[in-house]
Amino acid sequence: MPSPENPQAEGVFVRHSVRQSGFVFDDFSPDSAWLREEATAYFPPLAEIQRLVIRGEFIRHPALSDAKAALPSLDVFLADKKVGTASASAPGPWEIAFDVPLEHAEQGFTLRLVIRGVFLGNMLAWAGRVFENWKLAGSLQRHRLQNKNRQLRVRTISAGGEIVYDFSNRHSPYSSAFARRHARLGLNIVGFLAAELGIGESARCMIRAADAARIPASAVPLKIPCKARMGDNSFAPFLQEKNPYGVNVFHLDAPATAEIDANHGPAFRAGKYNVGYWAWELPEFPDAWVPYFDFVNEIWCPSDFVRDAIADKSPVPVVTIPHAIAFQRPVESTAQLRQRFGLPTGKFLFLFLYDLHSYSERKNPRAVLAAFRESGLATRDAALVIKVHGGAGNEADLAALRAEAADLPGTIFLDQPLSRSDVYALEAACDCFVSLHRSEGFGLAVAECMYLGKPVIATDWSATAEYLNEKNGCPVRAKLITLDRNHGPYSKGQTWADPDTSHAAEWMHRLYDDRALAARLGEAARATIEQKFSPTVIGTRYRRRLEAIASW
């Protein structure tokens, strides 16, 4: 974490780099602070700080009998150079104003305030503390209050007319409003930016949101090995290796966090505020993953479902900031889109997307087949379209899926690689999207199809239940079951959903029979995504969180 000795670059201020010490509060003058010997106030790197003004007041303390005794004075130092003095022979306000050299403003600096004229009183206070239990030291105890020191009060430290430290706010003198106004926000978005998989799209969604909110951002490709096809070149012209801003956000699974330093070097994280953008699909975060919190200062996640799972075991803040959903909707007609993919033009098409690199049991393709089979629509003007990703290397799994669908005439399998724009086109070409998942951390395909105005049939549990309901979609009843064996990272004893395929089949029938209902749900779905997950909405949440971090 940054500290005054190693100030945070780019004006991203964290609690460890914005602090004051030595200021003492009391009820004698509750709107100000006093000094025992000296105090310090740290200022973060900010070139706008050109002139500082420190204000306070000399007030006679009623417990001191000599009303004409000399008042204490104050010396102020910047980088060991005295820049001002406050002294007075009578009570009243005081002010010290001085210019801040640019080199100090740009690098961050510490002010040192030293109280003068209290040496004897401080020595007697020290003696009173040290010899507290000595019988002959009773007369020293009154000096421990240091009432002479309390007569010199510090109220505010201002820069350019803005209050930076307000000592009437004893719980948090540093001004959060000042930090927010002057924070140089910026994100280093680090992820598999070219990868054709959900965690890659997660990083790309963040770039779009940052751009919409006008947050400066760098797009840094992760150097950690990734098995997925690197075919998404959306941001290829903007990729860079450097991370110039003060906040790193790593889009990866928690265990991969331990590999960052080995692949990017320790300096990549050093001196930055490091955020892990993590997803997890079950209610309990794995105990084995708890050590990976050591590599981050904070966790962001795409849903409250994920947040609740992670927060239960997290020693760092966990904040929900969903994915931003927006892209160029296809302009071709449905007929043109279907022709592109070789899909029948006169049928009601149910779409299911499935990545063979994912864990089959969680994505639950067999439930989709079972529901469509039970609906009986295969013998009518309806068909199931299954887009399979990752067929290469998973030929046996693909063959098994094809075999299971053999009794469903007209079922269409698409296994060729598709670009993101082609995926959107395929989603737009179909009439309804089906996701009978056992759990989702967000549900990108669900949200994308809703954004395209499609009715979506989805398991009514986990993250998708946070934005899909009967007003904008087709939630499917589910019971919770306990895993009886391990499925990849999803361990035996955990909980996930078992969707009711009969209920899903009922939804399929309703949408097929009532096209007006399908249209109404699709329009409501589109409105939900535009209102809740637009890049501007999500980018604003990023900005607010960065401003909050700045105020620490």
Topology (CATH level 3) of domain 187-324+538-550: Rossmann fold (3.40.50)
Residue 253 has pLDDT above 90, yes or no: yes
How much of the chain exceeds pLDDT 90, in percent?
76
Q: How many CB atoms are closer than 10 A to CB 150?
A: 22
Average pLDDT over residues 257-266: 96
Q: Do domains 20-173 and 334-533 have the same CATH topology?
A: no
Q: Can you tell me the distance from the alpha carbon of 323 to that of 450, in angstroms, rounded to the nearest whole number?
A: 14
User: Looking at the predicted structure, is the pLDDT value of residue 58 above 80?
Assistant: yes
Q: Tens digits of per-residue pLDDT, 519-545?
A: 999 999 999 999 999 999 999 999 999
pLDDT of residue 4: 35
Looking at residue 237, what is its pLDDT? Answer: 92
Residue 399: per-residue pLDDT: 86
Q: What distance, in Å, lies between the first and last C-alpha atoms of the chain?
A: 13
The full set of domain ranges for the chain reads 20-173, 187-324+538-550, 334-533
Say if residues 382 and 347 touch (Cβ distance below 8 Å): yes
For 20-173, CATH number out of 1.10.1370.10, 1.20.1070.10, 3.40.50.300, 2.60.120.260 equals 2.60.120.260
Q: For 18-44, how does the pLDDT look when each residue is reduced to its tens digit (9 = 90+)?
A: 478 999 999 999 999 999 999 999 998
- The structure's pTM equals 0.82
Cα→Cα distances 537→323, 328, 414, Å: 10, 17, 34
pLDDT band per the 50, 70, 90 thresholds, residue 16: very low
> Which residue is associated with the tokens 């079950």?
282
**Residue 6 pLDDT:** 40
Sheet holding 273-277, edge to edge: 217-221, 187-191, 247-251, 273-277, 298-301, 318-320
Which residue would you say has higher pLDDT here, 208 or 409? Answer: 208
> What would the pLDDT profile of 434-463 be if each residue is shown by its tens digit?
999 999 999 999 999 999 999 999 999 999
Residues 6 or more apart from 104 whose CB is under 8 A from it?
78, 79
CATH architecture of 334-533: 3-Layer(aba) Sandwich (3.40)
Which of 47-51, 67-71, 121-125, 393-397 is predicted most confidently?
Answer: 47-51
Write the pLDDT tens digit of every residue in 150-166.
999 999 999 999 999 99
How far is 134 from 239, CA to CA, in rounded Å? 71
Question: 312-340: per-residue pLDDT in tens?
Answer: 999 999 999 999 999 999 999 999 999 99
Q: Which residue has the tokens 């700045």?
A: 550
Q: What rounded mean pLDDT belongs to the chain?
A: 92
Q: How confident is the model at residue 137 (pLDDT cuts 50, 70, 90)?
A: low
Segment 87-103, tens digit of pLDDT: 999 999 999 999 999 99
Taking residue 545's Cβ as centre, other Cβ atoms within 10 Å add up to 18
In this prediction, residues 387-406 reach a mean pLDDT of 82
Specify the pLDDT at position 507. 98
Model pLDDT for residues 290-306, shown as the tens digit of each residue? 999 999 999 999 999 99
